[in-house]
Amino acid sequence: MRQRVVITGMGTISPLGHDVETLWRGVLAGRSGISKTELFDARTFPSTFSAQVKDFRPQGLVPNLENHAHAGRATQFALAAAHQAWRQAGLDANGGPDRSRVGIYMGCGEGSLDFEAFTTCLLDAWASGKLDTVRWAKLAWERMDLYREVEQEANMVASHLTRQYEVTGPVINVLTACAASTQALGEATWLIRRGLTDVMISGGSHSMIHPLGVTGFNRLTALSTRNDELATASRPFDRTRDGFVLGEGASILILESLESAQARGAAVLAEIIGFGSSADAFRITDQDPDGAGAAAAMHMALKDAGLTAADIDYINAHGTGTSQNDSVETKAVKSVLGARAKACPISSVKSSLGHLIAAAGATELITCVLALRDRVLPPTANYRTPDPDCDLDYIPNTARPAPNVSIIMSNSFGFGGQNNSILIRR
């Protein structure tokens, strides 16, 4: 029998705050989490701003911090977010669940290298126009922090969470770029449905605000360069959009079989009812311009839920603020919803949050759960100039009461052509 899957806990560390309610208040108000980059000297970069997590100190937010002394920034974010979610779900009561029936499925990206040590070793090992690899290895061994190098591996977040919660069920990490945490949540749902686990700790964490991350996205011309208008630089679906704003953070959700949640007397926040995943098979950095891959993921999610497009009350868009993504997503939504597309509200909270890359989908799903709870839809901030290619109802600038909202779709599309859509209901 297919198990029903519900959400019983949520936690976040985001550019808008260090807990779920602060995130939600900021999103509803259209507050900007974007500021001048402080994590490194970005003054000479085309984009000098980002959506950073501010004033984060793991002390008091991460239990058993001594066990995670070498954890990287993204890992500490995830540990803090997981603590919030685990506590809200009430999983410590009566000794907690059978850990062999608890799993972890994360969508996490690589951590940041020790750039200073890396570059000095590289330069010092360079002679006569070539790299002395023997000298490089010797210098790297002497100067580079082994723990920091290990911590850049994408699976480290899941490894730390495993230790923190003594989980002995399946532990998995997926890195499908900007679609990673939505894919993790969707596939964690599959594991519970099949009866392989009772509880999954799932979500995403990422921190790419470092020279390599910013250089890569700037070279792809994917980042906004509105250095004099940084608070309004993220403009999804607006005609003047010029790219996304790189962000960081972590969001974790506790997924659980309905049977398990009811047996524990846990409060159910929402139910996951559908998931769809597809690939574009197009280009490594660009979406298929006709939106076929994105539409396929949405159709699959609807089919999985046993619903039709007419059942969707709101779409939380991937909505990055790049020219291509927003027009392609609009085209895909029209393809799926047909004549009803213009009547279905859609918005992008990246206008406030920036783009949290692997953590984006999980963070956005949290706002969807809260939209169901409070019966209000978050706005697309900074929307001023309509684009003829983006002609849907994007909930411009002001949150909208939605007393009848019941079913929400959230989209995540990643570089390389990964498309994921997830459906939740009250």
Q: How much is the average pLDDT of 126-140?
A: 82
Residue 102 neighbours by CB distance under 10 Å: 24
Q: How much is the average pLDDT of 28-42?
A: 96
pLDDT of residue 148: 59
pLDDT of residue 138: 85
- pLDDT one-digit tens code per residue, 141-175: 777 765 555 566 778 899 999 999 999 999 999 99
pLDDT of residue 396: 98
Domains recognised in the chain with CATH numbers: 7-112+152-425 (3.40.47.10), 115-148 (no CATH)
- C-beta separation of 370 from 322 below 8 A: no
Residue 305 has pLDDT above 70, yes or no: yes
- pLDDT one-digit tens code per residue, 170-184: 999 999 999 999 999
Residue 116 has pLDDT above 70, yes or no: no
Q: How much is the average pLDDT of 231-240?
A: 98
| Residues 6 or more apart whose Cβ sits within 8 Å of residue 53 | 13, 14, 15, 18, 77, 207, 248, 249
| Catalytic option among 318, 344, 368, 390 | 318
Q: What is the pTM of this model?
A: 0.93
Most confident of 15-24, 71-80, 123-132, 136-145: 15-24
178 classed as catalytic: yes
Calculate what percentage of the chain has a pLDDT beyond 90. 79
Q: How far apart are CA 278 and CA 421, in angstroms?
A: 9
pLDDT of residue 235: 98
Residue 375 has pLDDT above 80, yes or no: yes
pLDDT of residue 111: 65
pLDDT of residue 11: 98
355 classed as catalytic: yes
pLDDT of residue 146: 57
| Catalytic option among 178, 344, 368, 390 | 178
pLDDT of residue 1: 74
Tell me the pLDDT band of 329, cut-offs 50, 70 and 90: very high
Q: How much is the average pLDDT of 127-135?
A: 82
| Catalytic option among 18, 83, 206, 355 | 355
Question: Could you identify the residue written with the tokens 């974007």?
Answer: 34
Q: How far is CA 309 from the centre of its chain?
A: 24
Residue 29 has pLDDT above 90, yes or no: yes
Cα atoms in the 13 Å half-sphere on the side-chain side of 69:
3
Q: How much is the average pLDDT of 398-408?
A: 98
Max CA distance (Å), the chain: 71
- pLDDT one-digit tens code per residue, 185-226: 999 999 999 999 999 999 999 999 988 889 999 998 999 999
What dihedral do alpha carbons 247, 107, 298, 307 form, nearest 10°? -120
Closest to 250 measured CA to CA, from 201, 293, 194, 310: 201
Lowest mean pLDDT among 92-96, 385-389, 399-403, 412-416: 92-96
Tell me the pLDDT band of 91, cut-offs 50, 70 and 90: very high
68 classed as catalytic: no
Q: Which helix (H) or strand (E) holds 24?
A: helix 20-29
Residue 22 has pLDDT above 60, yes or no: yes
pLDDT of residue 137: 83
pLDDT of residue 126: 87
- C-beta separation of 149 from 117 below 8 A: no
Q: How far apart are CA 164 and CA 237, in angstroms?
A: 41
- C-beta separation of 201 from 207 below 8 A: no
Q: Which two tokens stand for residue 274?
A: 């559908």
Average pLDDT of every residue of the chain: 93
- pLDDT one-digit tens code per residue, 38-75: 999 999 999 999 999 999 999 989 999 998 877 888 99
- Structure-model confidence comparison of residues 236 and 119, the more confident one: 236
Tell me the pLDDT band of 129, cut-offs 50, 70 and 90: confident
